[in-house]
A and B are shown apart, each in its own frame.
Chain A
Amino acid sequence: MRHLIEIMDLSTEEIEELIATASGIIAHPEEYREVCRYKKLATLFFEPSTRTRLSFEAAMLDLGGSVLGFSEASSSSAAKGESVSDTVAVVSGYADIIAMRHPKEGAPMVAAMHSAVPIINAGDGGHNHPTQTLTDLLTIKQKKGRFDHLTIGLCGDLKFGRTVHSLIAAMSRYEGVRFVLISPEELKVPSYVKGEYIKSRGIPYTQSTSLEDVMPELDILYMTRVQRERFFSEEEYLRLRDSYILTPDKLKNAKEDLCIMHPLPRVNEISTEVDSDPRACYFEQARYGKFIRMALIMKLLEVRK
């Protein structure tokens, strides 16, 4: 039995396999409508989320399975003080697979230690969000046709942005990749992330506080939101929130085939005027989230077309 707790749990071959399955689903969704018939997905969301929970539920429904679960801790037994391990030990008796989001970092790993069924980490605080990274990888593959020899700009909150850390880890395994890290001083990529995935592998990278300066180099621009919930101080949040806002003007010097990505939801870091630009890929990226989750559920449940 396999779980997915962090993106590095998957080899590059397994990622290719998931992307191939997801691409097959995108091309012929009707062939997958029954593959998870009589299987149940439990979505245990101890922290609110719209996109991730709905995409998991839509994924399971599109595979012919059913879903059950809760969407906030107050409507679960956690409100009565039940531990994660107890909740999961019980729920794994009712469902075939569990997707869990929890505000505490490492909660899905604890769940995996006590579960009789596969656990998918659907986000644990500011730590890991592997299915978002799989979504990002599917988007890159669909848009660029490859993972190697790409210059990837990551912009915004690179300190607390879990999607950024996971994407750096995942992309650091491909040849010819270069990272451009764009953030204010206070929100730079933590040194251990740089050390573990960039420096130790000899991957070229540059750090910049200006988005305009580095724009012409980029093949991919991955924008992120400065998240209120990651700050202990409201004052600090407000000061950094508007650090980088992507506008059509800033895209003047960008490549014609730039791919602009964002894990969503956005607040104001991408102006709505950018939405009509053909290089804006973020809504398509969100759509891909369902397909890659379908592929992942199939893999973990060991079902085939």
Chain B
Amino acid sequence: MKIDSIRNGIVIDHIQAGSGMQIYKMLHMDDLSCSVALLRNVQSRKLGQKDIIKIDAVLDIDLDVLGYFSPNITVNIIRDGKLAEKKHIGLPARITDLLKCKNPRCITTTEQGIHHIFRLADPAARTYRCIYCDAKAE
């Protein structure tokens, strides 16, 4: 299977196999008018299998949050058909408005217009906790 290389855009590589669709939805890629390719279960020497997303446009999107989904993820910025920048995405210190707190006692369950924010509590265990009530992200 061949997907044309892109001239100006973003390649999100080394996505853990199976997480590509989740990232596609989270970054609202179905709203984009440019070409977007989601490749699933691509052979990878490092990971065995991986997912890749190619976006045929340089967009201003919050890429830091990607680390939450997939620990080895890399983001390649392509300009004029060349690799202009390669970013290794680690675990973000904070995640805003991506997850919702499941603790029924948390203020976020009743207060309107509030940002749902989780902080990285334990990087080794990849644990995030709600900044308001300290409940673990599920």
> A residues near B, CB below 8 A?
83-85, 102-107, 109-110, 124-127, 192, 195-196
Contacts and interface: CB of A to CB of B under 8 A. Distances in A.
Contact of A105 (B103, B121, B136): B103
A30 to B, nearest CB: 41
17 contacts: A83-B111, A83-B113, A84-B111, A85-B111, A104-B110, A105-B103, A105-B105, A105-B132, A105-B134, A106-B106, A106-B130, A109-B131, A127-B133, A192-B127, A192-B129, A192-B136, A195-B122
Given A104-B111, A105-B135, A106-B108, 17 more contacts: A84-B107, A84-B111, A104-B106, A104-B110, A105-B105, A105-B106, A105-B132, A105-B134, A107-B107, A107-B132, A110-B107, A125-B133, A127-B105, A127-B134, A192-B121, A192-B129, A192-B134
Given A105-B132, A106-B130, A106-B133, A126 B105 contact: yes
B104 to A, nearest CB: 9
Nearest to A111: B107
B112 interface: yes
B1 interface: no
B98 interface: no
B132 A110 contact: yes
B112 to A, nearest CB: 6
A119 to B, nearest CB: 13
Contact of A104 (B105, B129, B135, B136): B105
A105 B107 CA distance: 6
Contacts of A192: 121, 127, 129, 134, 136
Given A127-B133, A192-B136, A196-B121, A104 B109 contact: yes
Contacts of A127: 105, 133-134
A235 to B, nearest CB: 19
For B103, B109, B113, B134, the residue with the greatest tally of chain A CB atoms inside 10 Å of its CB is B134
Interface of B: 103, 105-114, 121-122, 127, 129-136
Contacts of B127: 192
B105 A125 contact: yes
Contacts of B130: 106
For B107, B111, B114, B121, the residue with the greatest tally of chain A CB atoms inside 10 Å of its CB is B107
A102 B108 CA distance: 13
A105 B133 CA distance: 5
Contact of A110 (B105, B114, B122, B135): B114
Contacts of B110: 104
A104 B107 CA distance: 5
Contacts of A103: 105
B40 to A, nearest CB: 35
B107 to A, nearest CB: 4
Contacts of A107: 107, 111, 132
Nearest to A105: B133
B107 A106 contact: yes
Nearest to B108: A106
B132 A109 contact: yes
Contacts of B122: 195
A103 B127 CA distance: 26
Contacts of A125: 105, 133
Contacts of B132: 105-107, 109-110
- Across the A-B interface, the 9 shortest Cβ-Cβ residue pairs: A106-B132, A105-B133, A106-B107, A104-B107, A107-B107, A106-B133, A105-B105, A125-B105, A105-B106
